[in-house]
Structure 1
Amino acid sequence: MLEKHLKATGGKVFTRFPPEPNGYLHIGHAKAMFINFGLAKERGGCCYLRYDDTNPEAEKKEYIDHIEEIVRWMGWEPFKITYASDYFQDLYELAVELIRRGHAYVDHQTPEEIKEYREKRMNSPWRDRPIEESLKLFDDMKRGIIEEGKATLRMKQDMQSDNYNMHDLIAYRIKFTPHPHAGDAGCIYPSYDYEHCTVDSIENVTHSLCTLEFETRRASYYWLLDALSLFQPYVWEYSRLNVTNTVMSKRKLNRLVKEKRVDGWDDPRLMTLSGLRRRGVTSTSINAFVRGIGITRSDSSMINVDRLEYHIREELNKTAPRTMVVLHPLKVVITNLEVGSVMDLNAKKWPDAPLDDASSYYKVPFSNVVYIENSDFRMKDSKDYYGLAPGKSVLLRYAFPIKCTDVILGDDKETVLEIRAEYDPSKKTKPKGVLHWVSEHSPGVDPLKVEVRLFDKLFLSENPAELDDWLGDLNPESKMVIPGAYAVPSLKNAAVGDRFQFERLGYFVVDKDSSSEKLVFNRTITLRDSYGKVGK
């Protein structure tokens, strides 16, 4: 058996990344990819992308296409793309052989009865039925003669074992459901417990790597391969990736999507890989995060999301060009600058570029009307405040110092409508506060208007999955949409997926909802943790 295996593999390491196509991949799958594809790459071996597609009721072509696309986005190239459904005929023939060897039987218990008997370690009344009878009934199951739910094929394992996963697991069940990949694949489908290990063996996988919740299934894995006299891969389990303030159960993610509590599988607040990508997170920063946390067998740890955010900032700080956007614009009229005059100033684009490198700058217009953040102005000054206030000066970044000379209030005598200021063209004034700003593009023409979406943690608790009312823990302020932000004109040609650092506000990416009429930006992450709350 080993000789045949080595002939097929050439002595190379063979692994597989085996997702079920019943939802979108999340950050936990990034770790599984890193381990399976990474081990094969490190050892000069091969890694399959294999769909464990044995449950047609939960699977969709949409999920199949997404998985292949996101695996490649994560930087991995499969040796081959295969499906468990590719082997349905082989698996059926192996099941027939299992019955012939006396290791499987057709059972007529209901799901509730199976559960009760397994918990009480009681044999099914049909466990010792004749082999020929089980063969005939299994054929009837395959041909659709038996109704759905009226029979299953169960493995004859060890009902007295202390391991619940040895209590006669189901190998096949009847489902009159078309398959998203195989089409009309018949009326019976193999279970995960039956299919997973047999396909590992058929594909000559050398190392079957999975998360620790499958450790108790290792006995069943080897029992079945031994019962069928098949090659046995080496099985090793590692801790799953748990990240704070999110859920990663596909069942919970599916519910969030179906109940429209989020905006689809790629909602930027989710820890799905498509959600992270839409938020502007790069695959390289995700892989750096996975590499940084390491691979252990300790399954009790919860990784703080701050560790992921560290790697995101590390990369974007080096790669994202700087620009200026004002989220909540407050008009400032510079009274000592001639109306209609516009100066083009050089704003620095890259953080570490040489000062004499022209490509490290971009032009920003400066006119007598500029806009600052509403939160950067107060009517009353204080020592620990570095923004603008009546009689106080601040520096407009890349431009000039300005001093507030007057404030125009609304009818309520509280709402600030407009600020009047004078600028210092000599730049002799040296204020402590430095503000980002955006100017009119030309006299009477507002700056580029963009939509900005700010995101915070989706859940308030670090571990919402442990809560009975986990949906009640959703953060009501996890998303804020700002439809009327102002941006510098150089952003008008930004394309979907382009990333920027908005000075003082964080890192942003152009969202797929953008159009020629309106640019939409998602905040990937704040500049530092102290800016972590939505709206800051």
Structure 2
Amino acid sequence: MDCKKLKTIEELMRTRTKDFHKVGENYKTDGYVVTPDMERILKEHVKRVNGKVVTRFPPEPNGILHLAHAKAIGINFGYAKAQGGSCNLRFDDTNPEKEEEKFFLAIEEMVRWLGYKPAKITYSSDNFDQLYEWAVQLIKKDLAYVCHQTVEEMRGFDVKQSPYRNRPVEESLRLFEIVLRDSDKVSECITGRSCPAVSIGSTRRCSSAVESQWAYFITGTRPLHPLSEQLSEKMSDQVESPQGSEKFDHLFALMEKVAEKVDTLEAKQQQAAVKEKPLKSTRLDVQVQLNAEWINRLNQLAAEAARPAQLPSATRKRPFPRSGGGGARTSVAFNYRDNQIASLAAQDMKNGKFGEGEATLRLKTVLEEGKMDPVAYRIKYVPHHRTGNKWCIYPTYDYTHCLCDSIEDITHSMCTKEFQSRRSSYYWLCNALGIYCPVQWEYGRLNIEYTVVSKRKIQKLITSGVVHDWDDPRLFTLPALRRRGVPADAVNNFVASLGLTGNQMAIGPMALDAAVRDYLNVNAPRTMAVLEPLKIRIKNFKELALPAKLAVDDFPSAPTIFKHEVQFSDVVYIEQSDYRGSNADKKFRRLTKRQPVALKYIALVLTVIDEVLDQSGNVTEIVVNAEKLTDENKPKAFIHWVCNPLQVEVRMYDRLFNHKNPEDPDVVPGGFLTDCNSNSLTVLNNVYIDQYLAGSKVYQRFQFERTGYFAVDQDSKPGKLVFNRTVLLKEDAGK
């Protein structure tokens, strides 16, 4: 099948029906996991969707959609439409610190601009309560655990199994749930109210979390102060001694005293702030006092720990944390049979919390070679645009994606090829919870040359002043393409022409330009515009007895009832490049002192009589005689012109970058910002167009004859139109 002959993605998807499973026949696909309850679950699913295809487009609302997203939109909406089904627009709003209302609005606007109507608009955050309940279920099933490994420890090629993987279920459950306790304090931490910071060692932390340091110490997680490590080493040496129960009771009592002391000092700080009377000591002195108190109590604990001690009813699985090479610390976990220590730790933490990055919930999947347990939840003390301060833990893509697909009864979960490696965890998670498991299908990713689409990098272009905003016509975001004048149907046709393949592809701007040019050639009405005007005065105008107005076809090559009216008088304007004076070579076919030229639509042949020059010797006006066109005087060329013109601004856009891949350090060692094309925008302020265009609307498109396709920009104002060049009439041979 020649994809280039298919005009829409819907037509393409009708040709690929056999490539996908029928609704309810998930088990016939490669890699789908068959479970004892599968038949019942699938029957219930088919009943809920009434046997119809249900897909979804799930963007993250932290940036603007770009051309590659148009492919994803087309595939998801196109397949559903081709099969008589429906497609949801789901906002994957699980990263509150990067999400903004403008992105939600822009994403929905672009989906509708492309011609698609979502069956439902949903949000991952709609399911936060259900996702949390399922997380608790997974912990209880010993299929998830709280982990304290850092991001750096979880990265790399030689990733080792988490030392917390075998943490007791009750301990993980308490640690996971404790993060959400005492919502007032969580809210205070988020909003900054009543939450003075204290310095502990080299780490600056919210003071409401100070008490949780004891829980860190007891549960064997990473110490936050060097003396904590010394204490741990001493306890490690004496952990087998006999008076364990009494020893730990005493240690906890000392810990509570330190916490009370910290609270007292904090209270004094707060009271002084309210009275606007600072303490005699400076804030730094108070922090030093807090640290001194911390150190003194730790020394007391270390002294106590130096005596023989024995953990009650405990199995020593690993030693307490010690320093590693180069000052690195090793995180460890303990497995207490009766969970007494974990329980006490959770109680101590109930009025505090973990800091961001200090704990995650990870899924205990079937480990495959080269893979690690995916993170399900992470801590973010950031208010959510829809749930406010209710949550300080947010689910990850790996956790949310498949479960929201299940909740929405998605039949075909379409995603790009890089997510193929996550298919096993997708299926594992749904089956671990005993819920409906959709089928994940992957297609090849679309990459665009001579641009960047990374949200972070586009933001850098904006802040650096290289482009004006997300809709700058030099970008390949969908709002930018629309502003440049690219029609939505042309984008859809371009996507359909790519076909449906699992291979990643890199497409240059020329491919999109060709699709746009094909569409506009049929749909953009013609008009005459002069980019660099040169005045022509017809000396014998009165003798010609010509009409003051004439009707011109919008599409001269296919005349229809659609016409526009242009004016004609003794003064007209042509392009400066259409006149060469005496310096023209033999190949030049337009107006010279010795060579006549004809004006389009009026059938007049112009012959030069004289030139008018300015003080610099530049031609400012040409005086001509005109005669009506005949077979005998027919010249080599016909040129466009305007009369009684309207002055407008025209923005000529070119490629933003000089190289195909501006992100390649081998080609652009200085970084993508150094590869920007300084000539990517040229502004012409003295362009002449016909008066009938004065009422043109934003995004309205025209072919400026012999020049290119242009669209009205949103910066246009009454009496001052602005046009953007969308694409040249023909591809520049030099590109």
The alpha carbon displacement at 1:178 in A equals 1.2
Say if 2:335 is the partner of 1:131.
Answer: no
> Match of 1:115?
155
User: Structure 1 stretch 507-516 or stretch 423-432: which is displaced more?
Assistant: 423-432
Q: 2:536 aligns with which of 319, 329, 332?
A: 332
Q: Residue 589 of structure 2 aligns with which residue?
A: 386
Matched, 1:366 2:530: no
**Corresponding residue of 1:229:** 434
Partners of 2:398 and 2:426 within 8 A in 1: yes
Residues 28-52 of structure 1, C-alpha deviations (whole Å, 9 max, x = no match):
1111111111111111112111111
Structure 1 segments of 4+ aligned residues over 4 angstroms from their partners: 338-342
Deviations 1:121-145 (A, max 9, x none): 3233322221111111111122343
Counterpart AA for 2:391: G
Bigger relative contact order, structure 1 or 2 (CA pairs below 8 A, ≥6 apart): 2
Q: Which residue of 2 aligns with 1:487?
A: 689
Counterpart-to-counterpart distance in 2, 1:530 and 1:112: 48
Match of 1:345 in 2: 550
Would the aligned equivalents of 1:390 and 1:407 in 2 still touch at CA under 8 Å? no
Displacement of 1:18 in angstroms is 0.6
Greater shift, 278-287 or 105-114, is seen at 105-114
Q: Retained in 1: the 8 A contact 2:525–2:702?
A: yes
Q: Which moved more, 1:491-500 or 1:253-262?
A: 253-262
TM-score (norm 2): 0.68
Mapping 1:286-301, distance limit 5 Å: 286-299=491-504, 301=505
Q: Indicate the SS of the match to 2:96.
A: coil
TM-score, length of structure 1 as denominator length: 0.92
Larger radius of gyration: 2
For the pair 1:153 / 2:370, whether they are aligned, the reply is no
Residue in structure 1 matched with residue 259 of structure 2 by the alignment: none
| Secondary structure in structure 1 of the residue aligned to 2:634 | coil
Q: CA deviation at 1:454?
A: 1.0
Q: 1:239 aligns with which of 425, 436, 444?
A: 444
Higher strand share: 1
Determine the structure 2 residue equivalent to 1:461. 659
2:375 is matched with which residue? 170
The 5 A counterparts of 1:308-327 are 308-327=512-531
Higher helix share: 2
CA distance in 1, matches of 2:672, 2:364: 39
Which amino acid in the other structure matches residue 188 of structure 1? I
Q: Give how far 1:353 is off.
A: 4.0
Residue type of the alignment partner of 2:159: R
What SS is found at the alignment partner of 1:57?
Answer: helix
| Aligned-partner residue type, residue 477 of structure 1 | N
Partner residue in 1 for 2:708: 506
The answer as to whether partners of 1:457 and 1:475 remain within 8 angstroms in 2 is: yes
Which of 50, 53, 77 in structure 2 is aligned with 1:37? 77
Task: Write the distance in 1 (CA, Å) between the matches of 2:359 and 2:732.
Answer: 59
Q: Deviations over 1:459-515 (max 9, x none)?
A: 222232334522222221111111110111111111112111111111111111111
Q: Which runs of 5+ in 2 are unaligned?
A: 1-40, 187-351
Where structure 1 has 5 or more consecutive residues not aligned to the other structure, the ranges are 442-446
1:312, distance to aligned residue in structure 2 (A): 1.2
The CA deviation at 1:327 is 0.6
Answer yes or no: is the 8 Å Cα contact 2:605–2:629 preserved in 1: no
Tell me the secondary structure at the aligned position of residue 198 of structure 1: helix
- Summarize deviations over 1:42-72 as a string: whole Å, max 9, x none: 1111211111111011111100011111111
What amino acid maps onto 2:55 in structure 1? T
Residue 444 of structure 1 corresponds to which residue in structure 2? none
User: For residue 613 of structure 2, what is the aligned residue in structure 1?
Assistant: 409
With 385-394 and 138-147 compared, the bigger mean Cα shift is at: 138-147
Whether the 8 Å CA contact 1:371–1:438 is kept in 2: the answer is yes
Following the alignment from structure 1 to structure 2, what is the Cα–Cα distance between the partners of residues 482 and 521?
Answer: 10
The one-letter code matched in structure 1 to 2:706 is R
Confirm or deny that 1:9 pairs with 2:49. Answer: yes
Separation in 1, partners of 2:466, 2:366: 44
State the 1:260 CA deviation. Answer: 2.9
> Which whole-Å CA distance do the structure 2 matches of 1:109 and 1:218 have between them?
24
RMSD: 2.0
Q: Is the 8 A contact 1:456 1:532 kept in 2?
A: no
The answer on whether the counterparts of 1:324 and 1:502 sit within 8 Å (CA) in structure 2 is: yes
Of residues 103-112 and 234-243 in structure 1, the stretch that sits farther from structure 2 once superposed is 103-112
8 Å Cα contact 1:353-1:360 kept in structure 2: no
For 1:488 and 1:448, the matched residues in 2 are separated by 6
SS in 2 for 1:302: strand
- Is the CA contact (8 Å cut-off) linking 1:341 and 1:368 kept in structure 2? no
**Contact kept? 1:53, 1:83, Cα under 8 Å:** yes
Q: Give the match for residue 410 of structure 2.
A: 205
Secondary structure of residue in 1 paired with 2:376: strand
Q: Is the 8 A contact 1:176 1:187 kept in 2?
A: yes
- How many residue pairs match? The answer is 517
The one-letter code of the counterpart of 1:211 is T
Secondary structure (helix, strand or coil) at the match of 1:66 reads helix
| Partner residue of 1:304 out of 508, 530, 533 | 508
Letter in 2 for 1:153: L
Contact 1:451/1:482 (<8 A) preserved: yes
Distance (Å, rounded) in 2 between the aligned partners of 1:65 and 1:98: 35
The answer to whether residue 673 in structure 2 is matched with residue 471 in structure 1 is yes
Shift of 1:341: 9.1
